[in-house]
Amino acid sequence: MKLPIKILLGILTCTLIALYWFSNQTEGEYYRRHSPDGQYSIYASRNKYFNLDIAFSNFGDKGGKIHLYDELENKIIGTASIAMISNINEWFWSEEELHSKGSIINIKLPRKISTKTINKYNKSLPVKDSWNLFNQGKQYKVEKISHRKLKVSDENGKILLQDIEHISQINNGFQVLNKSKEIAYYDLGLNKLQKAPPIQKEFSEICGNVNTYGFRIEENEKYFLIKKAVGFTNYSFNDYKIIDAVSIEKVKDIYFLNKKRELTFDANFLEKEDVVIDFGTYFGILSNQYGIQYFDSIDLSKNPIKVMRNKLYGYYNITQTQYLDLQPFEFNLAKFKKRGPDGEIMVGFVDNKGNKHIK
């Protein structure tokens, strides 16, 4: 090989190494919080030299890393990259690991956290009395002024809405449940509309190089094996690993929510990894986060999944099965009918977090 070519390759190699090093440098400490028992803490640092998540920088956020710190050993024991450092609020503690929402990324803990400690901690979390609401660059402050009553202010403190029960963002606007328990719609500037705004997004940000995920269900003599693989930018998976197993005994069929035994998606469009188990006369839904729950029937054509147990309806992992009638969600609110404590019929709306608003 000629000397000029060797020099050129050397320069290129050094440049790539330098770019890789600079892209992994972060700075600062943000959003530090401790584990329920105080053994560990978690905090975020933001990218120092490069911020490739340009779409989020306009909203005061940046890409970076999340760090798991051992408070007893005084050292970092785990690190993971995150698209926005504010996403640290979507990381959760369990007995054996720190995991992101949907368990896409997990960091194992060297020492377990007591289950009782975690349960006690979760029950002690304070109820939020105020929070910020974002939609396409617009920011508003929502405050709870009394039971089931909210007010909404702009960034200058001007009150725009008050005495409402619910507000949530939808594409190109907001959905509100007013004090008369009626649904109303507002645009991005919180101007009231006669009907829901168009659902097409005015802009959408999609990353080109992202993680890809593959799931499959395979069968042997005794078990259905649930396997998972993680790739990058493509779906050519070669490293499927077993993440769970279900005994074949009494199982009529088993599949993912797409009604197939294979599931693929990428980080731009995440999908639920739940597994449906058909026992013939009843169903089970297996979740990595919640374990298995059993129902008399399930309706996968509804989003979220509508379930029924003992002739009472609910939405999977949102509500209990307690409704005589439960309508489809209109954006973030679904109309219901249920029986009250004295046998009376109660009607109202349930939101997508399971909160009931009774008329």
The answer, yes or no, to whether residue 91 has pLDDT greater than 60, is yes
Range 20-44 burial, b when 16+ CB lie within 10 A, else e: eeeeeebeeeeeeeebbbebbebbb
- 103 and 145 share one domain: no
156 in any annotated domain: yes
Closest CA to 97 of 289, 285, 344, 268: 289
The answer, yes or no, to whether residue 152 has pLDDT greater than 90, is yes
312 in any annotated domain: yes
264 in any annotated domain: yes
Residue 31 is predicted with a pLDDT of 77
- 102 and 140 share one domain: no
Examine the fold and report which residue of 124, 144, 178 is the final residue of a domain before the chain moves on. 124
User: Mean pLDDT over all residues of the chain?
Assistant: 81
292 in any annotated domain: yes
Closest CA to 255 of 224, 228, 222, 229: 224
Examine the fold and report which residue of 193, 213, 236 is the final residue of a domain before the chain moves on. 193
Closest CA to 244 of 282, 214, 279, 275: 275
- The tally of CA atoms less than 13 A away on the side-chain side of residue 158 is 6
The answer, yes or no, to whether residue 290 has pLDDT greater than 90, is no
- 106 and 175 share one domain: no
163-197 pLDDT tens trace: 999 999 888 899 999 988 899 999 999 999 999 98
Examine the fold and report which residue of 74, 92, 124 is the final residue of a domain before the chain moves on. 124
Residue 326 is predicted with a pLDDT of 96
The answer, yes or no, to whether residue 44 has pLDDT greater than 80, is yes
Min mean pLDDT across 100-104, 208-212, 277-281 is at: 100-104
Per-residue tokens: 254? 């088993």
36 in any annotated domain: yes
Q: 173 or 117: which carries more pLDDT confidence?
A: 173
Residue 242 is predicted with a pLDDT of 92
Entry pTM: 0.61
Q: Angle CA(344)–CA(346)–CA(352) in degrees, nearest 5? A: 150
Task: Over range 137-144, report the average pLDDT.
Answer: 88
Residue 299 is predicted with a pLDDT of 95
Domain that holds residue 172: 130-193
Min mean pLDDT across 26-40, 135-149, 211-225, 301-315 is at: 26-40
220 in any annotated domain: no
Task: Over range 146-164, report the average pLDDT.
Answer: 88
Percent with pLDDT over 70 in the chain: 81
Counted domains in the chain: 3
The CATH number given to whatever domain includes residue 180 is 2.40.10.480
